[in-house]
Chain A
Amino acid sequence: MTDHTADKLPEGALPDGVERQRMDVDIACVGFGPAMGGFLHTLSKGLVAEDGAPVAESKAMPGMPPQVICYERADDIGFGVSGVVTKGRGIRASFPDLDLMQIPLATEVRHEEVVYLLDPVGASRRPLVMRLKDRFLRATGLAKNHAYTLPYIPNFLRKEPGYLLSLGQFNQWAGGQIMGQGSAQIWPGTPVAGPLMEGRSVVGVRLQDQGVDRQGRPEAGFMPGMDIGSRLTVVADGPVGAVGRALDEKLGLPVGNHAREWAVGMKMVVDLPEGCALKEGLVLHTLGYPEPEIFGFLYVYPGNIASLGIFVPSWYDSPVRTGYRYLQHWMQHPYLWKHLQGGRMRSWGAKSLQESGRRGEPHLVGDGFARIGEGSGTTNVLTGSGFDEAWTSGVLLGVSVLELMEQDKPFTRENLEATYVRRRRESWLEREARIAEKARDGFQVGVIQGLIGMALAGLSGGKAFWPGATRKPHERIPSLEEFFRGRIPAEEIAQIRRDCTQKGLPLHGALMDRLGWPSIQYDGQLLVSHQDALLLGGKVQAPGGYRDHVTFKSTNVCKACDEKVCIEACSGQAISTNPDGGAPLFDREKCVHCGACIWNCSKPSPQGGESANVDFQAGAGGLHSAEN
């Protein structure tokens, strides 16, 4: 047997008497999100003939039906984070008789609004053009409640007719259907550490070690992560998955492509106050506040429940871009707060989005592997949708895999290109992705340019856009002194830094206070501390026996780092100041696996390449809410 060495796994021989186990399956799948849902649903349906007999035989276990195994990192298949509003074209095609009543929290889109939010507190960092525009809107009386509702929604942003869904509930429902069919198994609570590679081929995956301490050293109950050999590995681990990123690192991206634009989406599910005027099926998008770069969404589910949140993008250059505090200021904007006040947080969560879209597309296939979903560049940055696109990419792969199985063809790069990649290129997915490809380039230059660029691309079908060259995320982040120049003197920043470090606190609270952001008055229901949001909303927990999945590549780099963006931006306050002054501290129990630390670091990786100084691996645990 060949010796497979998984990439990027900690070196170190296994202790005496411990062997790494190995198991062979036909198709090994990584991650259960909508993309994998589309794939497994399509595959399961096609794998059994009408009489219930399997249409193909397993090669890994002759005599058995094909062994299709999916490993999901989170502790349950319903613990994902998303919006979701979707046109649902792919979903409708997969479930022509879809009855939304079967899926809790699902409903139809009934009404859409795009609202420009003015700054009611005077602390937001608005470019001059925007300030002039604000003044005009106020003077003409067009702004009500410090907000201006756009008179018309351009077609490319419209979601009607469409669905409002909870990603968690949808995934639970879809996963239940798939498991019920019996052709595929989905195992949550099982992080995949990385791909098993032979040259540029993928021959399976290695699971994460269990029974280890925080450093990954064997402890009682040590079980080295199993090697799962497979003929085809389907990588659907989303925007920040360890397997997809390992492949990107090993194989590079196709020439001209790069995945450098990110955003962290932070959200809540809220029980709206009794008598709330917001109606089921409402889709509300906001721009302009709390910072011009931060977009917001509010969708109304059945039962007087809303899904709401904000996106903090990588091109918002603040080194103290904290999602949580901004989310609280956004909710308290008078236009929203009049509906939300008195509401109660049911759920909270955060996750990164890969916003490079088509331009971030990796090698979609290779010998023994195929990639689907957001990690394969499906998310459309112009229409702001990724859910149905991810599902559809899974469906296209499902159809292709069935075709190859029926013809008994191996899963080689050529065969996958002739089937899956071809189908993808011919699909609406590709068409729309092309239109969107350069839509956000303008944001590289500035927020106004970005907004104009989006409109240009949307209205011209992608022919027009505002050009802007991209940079690696860490190259964008300025020093605190630079970013706050003219607003906070350098000596004062130094003082704030000293005070906060001594107290072990991040800087963003103090800096935002200093800039005039009002302090948050906790009400214990909707406005709660970040830690309480983790506990009450995210129900965050981490099983023991896994290594720290967030580490710092070079402690010296961290030591010399003044921005410490990783601490400021961490969605779970899982990364905190080290009072000893070394690399920041990481608390696995608080991590929500949003992956924001991957792109919220201001220093390049000592090993070079695209990445920064944070190493983000596959880990278990995180959110335990199935509503996000």
Chain B
Amino acid sequence: MKVLFLAHTEEGGGLGKAALEALGAAKGLGFELVVGLYGAEVQAGADAIAGCGAAKFLGVAGADFATARYGSDASACEAIAKAAGADLIVMPATARASRVAAGVALRLGAAVDTRLTGLEAAEGKVVATRWFYRQRMVGRIERDARPWLVTVDSGCFEAPSDMKGAASVEMLSPAVATRTVVTGVKSPAADAQTIRPEAKMLLVAGAGWGKSQAGGMKRLDEASQLILSLIGATKCSLGSSKSLVDQSGEGGALPFLTHMHQVGQTGSTPRHQKGLATCCHGEEPHVVGWRFITERRAINLDASCGWAQGKADVLYVADAFAVVKALVELLK
């Protein structure tokens, strides 16, 4: 069995965390390994993993492949995969790779499964794990068809280390047919950036922040300021509940919250080492958003809130306004 690890490089030609984890997944299977990289430049990336044990390095590089664009990325992936002739192709589930993975599989006549959270080989069989119904149930799947192209979710596999060296990359130059130009990236300003997938901790702000507090008043400005200070002090990522997001946005309860912050059933399922839920009631929609958070703590005024029923490791029954204020002081 031959495995192709196929990934795009980042700006500067190196590999991102998600790609390295996907390499870990591919390598972990213990079969013959081929590496395929595409992007503006690939040499730096190949060198960074030169010692990964791959039999061969394939690459597609150039200005045409600098940006995440379906037409060019699909051609690059198709060319590499065809040259590699692998049985199993492992790609990271980044936005860029996810855009093309299934299309590439179709070109190759390959079977495809995306966003795997587990991949292992046992007794000659490869078994994959993935989630269904918006992370509500987990399945173990296998296929006889080869080639089989998979993408793996970030945060699920260990990235191998100490692989630096000099790799010799066999370059391919596929033709690109596209009528699309990527013209730029719109990012929130660095200090306004509150979604940080790489952060160690996720802070979940629930609707309680926007509710009338003891004394009957809403304390929205204070809530905003406290949440932002805690993010500032911890460099954590911010998530929120549907209830709060629906009330927020410009002119709403908390102006910096958008629907991109929503975690849960109809939001995202982020992966972080730690999670702190504040003012969330904690029912199933949250739990789904929480599924891949390893250590979980919660602050709620109400001891009978959903968190008490076995979803968090620790529930602090307390006023989040007061606790977060003191916490920010301590962390300063």
Q: CB atoms of A and B under 8 A apart anywhere in the complex?
A: yes
Measured CB to CB, the closest approach of chain A to B65, in angstroms, equals 42
Residues on the B chain within 8 Å of A579, using CB: 212, 215-216
- Is B309 at the interface (CB under 8 A from chain A)? yes
Bound Cα distance A544, B243 (Å):
12
- Give A529's nearest chain B residue, CB to CB: B304
- Assess the A580–B310 pair: CB atoms within 8 A: no
Residues on the A chain within 8 Å of B306, using CB: 532
Residue in B243, B281, B283 with the greatest tally of chain A CB atoms within 10 Å: B283
Within 8 A of B (CB), among A422-481: none
Bound Cα distance A535, B288 (Å):
14
- Is B284 at the interface (CB under 8 A from chain A)? yes
- Is A536 at the interface (CB under 8 A from chain B)? yes
Which of A535, A580, A589 interacts with B283 by CB under 8 Å?
A: A535
Bound Cα distance A536, B243 (Å):
16
Tell me whether A524 and B310 are in contact in the complex, defined as CB-CB below 8 angstroms, given that A529-B304, A579-B212, A580-B216 are known contacts.
yes
Which of A535, A544, A580 interacts with B284 by CB under 8 Å?
A: A535
- Give A522's nearest chain B residue, CB to CB: B304
Residue in A504, A524, A529, A544 with the greatest tally of chain B CB atoms within 10 Å: A529
Within 8 A of A (CB), among B292-332: 304, 306, 309-310
Residues on the A chain within 8 Å of B281, using CB: 531
Residues on the A chain within 8 Å of B310, using CB: 524
Which of B214, B215, B309 interacts with A524 by CB under 8 Å?
A: B309
Residues on the B chain within 8 Å of A529, using CB: 304
Measured CB to CB, the closest approach of chain B to A538, in angstroms, equals 12
Measured CB to CB, the closest approach of chain B to A329, in angstroms, equals 17
Residue in B243, B284, B304 with the greatest tally of chain A CB atoms within 10 Å: B304
- Give B309's nearest chain A residue, CB to CB: A524
Please, what's the 1-or-0 string for B23-65, where 1 marks a CB less than 8 Å from any CB in chain A? 0000000000000000000000000000000000000000000
Tell me whether A536 and B283 are in contact in the complex, defined as CB-CB below 8 angstroms, given that A579-B212, A580-B216 are known contacts.
yes
Bound Cα distance A504, B283 (Å):
21
Q: What bracket does the count of chain A residues touching chain B fall in?
A: 10 to 19
Bound Cα distance A580, B310 (Å):
35
Bound Cα distance A524, B214 (Å):
28
Please, what's the 1-or-0 string for A470-513, where 1 marks a CB less than 8 Å from any CB in chain B? 00000000000000000000000000000000101000000000
Bound Cα distance A524, B311 (Å):
11
Residues on the B chain within 8 Å of A504, using CB: 212
Residues on the A chain within 8 Å of B283, using CB: 532, 535-536
Within 8 A of B (CB), among A520-568: 522, 524, 529, 531-532, 535-536, 544
Bound Cα distance A532, B309 (Å):
11
Residues on the A chain within 8 Å of B214, using CB: 502
Bound Cα distance A531, B282 (Å):
11
Residues on the A chain within 8 Å of B216, using CB: 579-580
Measured CB to CB, the closest approach of chain A to B165, in angstroms, equals 54
- Assess the B309–A536 pair: CB atoms within 8 A: no
Number of inter-chain CB pairs below 8 Å: 20
Tell me whether A536 and B304 are in contact in the complex, defined as CB-CB below 8 angstroms, given that A524-B310, A579-B212, A580-B216 are known contacts.
no
Residues on the B chain within 8 Å of A502, using CB: 214
Bound Cα distance A544, B245 (Å):
14
Bound Cα distance A522, B303 (Å):
12
Measured CB to CB, the closest approach of chain A to B266, in angstroms, equals 11
Measured CB to CB, the closest approach of chain A to B177, in angstroms, equals 41
Bound Cα distance A535, B281 (Å):
11
Measured CB to CB, the closest approach of chain B to A583, in angstroms, equals 14
- Give B211's nearest chain A residue, CB to CB: A504
- Give B215's nearest chain A residue, CB to CB: A579
Residues on the B chain within 8 Å of A531, using CB: 281
Bound Cα distance A522, B215 (Å):
29
Bound Cα distance A529, B309 (Å):
11
Bound Cα distance A19, B243 (Å):
33
Residues on the B chain within 8 Å of A522, using CB: 304, 309
- Give A589's nearest chain B residue, CB to CB: B243
Bound Cα distance A579, B304 (Å):
21
Residues on the A chain within 8 Å of B243, using CB: 589
- Give A502's nearest chain B residue, CB to CB: B214
Bound Cα distance A502, B212 (Å):
12
Measured CB to CB, the closest approach of chain B to A527, in angstroms, equals 11
Bound Cα distance A526, B11 (Å):
54
Residues on the B chain within 8 Å of A580, using CB: 216
- Give A528's nearest chain B residue, CB to CB: B309
Within 8 A of A (CB), among B238-286: 243, 246, 281, 283-284
Residues on the A chain within 8 Å of B215, using CB: 579
Bound Cα distance A529, B307 (Å):
12
Residues on the A chain within 8 Å of B284, using CB: 535-536
Residues on the A chain within 8 Å of B309, using CB: 522, 524
Bound Cα distance A582, B62 (Å):
69
Residues on the A chain within 8 Å of B304, using CB: 522, 529
- Give A585's nearest chain B residue, CB to CB: B212
Bound Cα distance A230, B100 (Å):
54
- Give B308's nearest chain A residue, CB to CB: A522
Bound Cα distance A245, B246 (Å):
34
Measured CB to CB, the closest approach of chain B to A348, in angstroms, equals 13
- Give A580's nearest chain B residue, CB to CB: B216
- Give B306's nearest chain A residue, CB to CB: A532
Bound Cα distance A589, B304 (Å):
20
Bound Cα distance A589, B244 (Å):
13
Please, what's the 1-or-0 string for B146-178, where 1 marks a CB less than 8 Å from any CB in chain A? 000000000000000000000000000000000
Bound Cα distance A531, B306 (Å):
9
Residues on the B chain within 8 Å of A532, using CB: 283, 306
Within 8 A of A (CB), among B213-242: 214-216
Bound Cα distance A532, B283 (Å):
7
Residues on the B chain within 8 Å of A536, using CB: 283-284
- Give B311's nearest chain A residue, CB to CB: A524
Residues on the B chain within 8 Å of A524, using CB: 309-310
Measured CB to CB, the closest approach of chain A to B272, in angstroms, equals 25
- Give A535's nearest chain B residue, CB to CB: B283
Bound Cα distance A529, B284 (Å):
14
Measured CB to CB, the closest approach of chain B to A328, in angstroms, equals 13
Residues on the B chain within 8 Å of A535, using CB: 283-284
Within 8 A of B (CB), among A17-55: none
Bound Cα distance A529, B212 (Å):
21
Residue in B214, B306, B310 with the greatest tally of chain A CB atoms within 10 Å: B306
- Give A544's nearest chain B residue, CB to CB: B246
Measured CB to CB, the closest approach of chain B to A337, in angstroms, equals 20
Bound Cα distance A531, B212 (Å):
18
Bound Cα distance A579, B218 (Å):
11
Bound Cα distance A536, B309 (Å):
13
Bound Cα distance A16, B216 (Å):
38
Measured CB to CB, the closest approach of chain A to B218, in angstroms, equals 11
Measured CB to CB, the closest approach of chain A to B207, in angstroms, equals 10
- Give B301's nearest chain A residue, CB to CB: A503
Bound Cα distance A524, B283 (Å):
11
Measured CB to CB, the closest approach of chain B to A543, in angstroms, equals 12
Measured CB to CB, the closest approach of chain A to B133, in angstroms, equals 15
Measured CB to CB, the closest approach of chain B to A280, in angstroms, equals 28
Bound Cα distance A467, B281 (Å):
50
Residue in B216, B243, B246 with the greatest tally of chain A CB atoms within 10 Å: B216
Bound Cα distance A486, B283 (Å):
41
Bound Cα distance A384, B285 (Å):
38
* 10 A-B pairs (CB sep. < 8 Å): A522-B304, A522-B309, A524-B309, A524-B310, A531-B281, A532-B283, A532-B306, A535-B283, A536-B284, A589-B243
Interface pairs A-B: 6 shortest CB-CB: A579-B216, A524-B309, A535-B283, A529-B304, A580-B216, A579-B212
Q: A504-B212, A535-B284 are in contact. List 7 more A-B contacts (CB 8 A).
A: A522-B304, A532-B283, A532-B306, A536-B283, A544-B246, A579-B215, A580-B216
